[in-house]
Amino acid sequence: MKILVCVKQVPDTTDIKWTENNTMQREGVESILNPYDAYAIDEAVKLKEFAGISVITMGPLQAKEILRYAISLGCDEGVLLSDKKFAGADTYATGKTLATAIKSKFSDFDLILCGQFAIDGDTAQTGPSIAAQLDIPQVTFVKKLERCDGKSIYAVRETEDGLETVKVEFPALICMLKGDFDPKRPKINGIKKAQFADIKVLSAYDIGLETAGIKASPTYVSKAFRPEHDRGECTYCNDVKDFAQKIREYANE
Ligand code: FAD
């Protein structure tokens, strides 16, 4: 069985900086593995006994770091899609590039795992876009995976009304939420393996994609701005009783 995990390198949002144009400053900011992707890797590694695990990202050369981190967690190989042509990709073009790479280099996959959201872009569109472009079923908002028999898997989804379990046949794509646990940390053997791992770098030409990046992106950003908050007057409470009283007064106004 073959599993492919899509991961994204994101700026550490505990240290967000903004440019003069109110866009996120990516240069000189520490980058981390998108936290949702850590849960996708965790679920993949739980199936390692039965599955080979590849991990893929589209990004600049520095994104090799997170592929090595993924290998240190138990993934077998890392593939980086990197090319100047990919710059300026919106979610559609990102999904298309990843789907094209998957068709050309990983056509024998059974299961693709993505994070539900990336903590910087936060659109939650990339996973569904890949699934749509590969024409395979997708299960989103998944908290955990259960009972894999090599041909199908049960995914426990979070919905507005609680949890529901869905069975999906392979090939399929699943978008993972954060689980109710801390994802595993690398062990010393994993770190050693990752240090010497050969990360494959593929260009647009290598995956047979002619138009990519901004040229393949239908999205146009007309304006970016930080919302202004008007919180009005601030009232301080002395203790919980005072707080409860003020809420009552506010409700009766
Ligand atoms: P989500 O859809 O929220 O991510 C969900 C999951 O999808 C992730 O957990 C991960 O599993 C997977 N995923 C997401 N991105 C990747 C990836 N790159 N590789 C592998 N898996 C992934 N961003 C730039 O970095 N540089 C740019 O020049 C740039 N230009 C842009 C121009 C426009 C017009 C627009 C609209 C966006 C641009 N972006 C750029 C942002 C970029 O499009 C998004 O970061 C990207 O499409 C992923 O969307 P998201 O961050 O909302 O991820």
Q: What percentage of the chain exceeds 90 in pLDDT? A: 78
For residue 124, count other CB atoms closer than 10 A to its CB.
Answer: 18
Measured CA distances, 21 to 11, 30, 196, 218, 230 (Å): 17, 20, 40, 22, 22
For atom 38 of ligand 1, which residue has the closest CA?
90
Residue 224 has pLDDT above 80, yes or no: no
Domain boundaries, the chain: 2-225
Q: How far is the CA of 136 from the centre of ligand 1 (A)?
A: 21
Concatenating the DSSP letter of every residue in 1-49 gives: -EEEEE--EEE-GGG--B-TTSSBP-TTS-EEE-HHHHHHHHHHHHTTT
The mean of the pLDDT values for the chain is: 92
| CA-based nearest residue to 34, from 116, 100, 156, 111 | 116
pLDDT of residue 251: 86
Task: Place 228 in a pLDDT band, splitting at 50, 70 and 90.
Answer: confident
With a 6 Å cutoff on the Cβ, whether 125 touches ligand 1 is yes
Residue 150 gets the label, from left (phi > 0), alpha (psi -120 to 50) or beta, of left
Q: Tell me, which fold does domain 2-225 have in CATH?
A: Rossmann fold (3.40.50)
Per-residue pLDDT reduced to its tens digit, 20-75: 666 666 666 789 999 999 999 999 999 998 999 999 999 999 999 999 999 999 99
pTM of the full structure: 0.88
Alpha-carbon gap, residue 175 to 39, rounded angstroms: 10
Distance 114 CA to ligand 1 centre (A): 12
Q: Mind listing the pLDDT tens digit for each residue in 82-140?
A: 999 999 999 999 999 999 999 999 999 999 999 999 998 889 999 999 999 999 999 99
pLDDT for position 234: 83
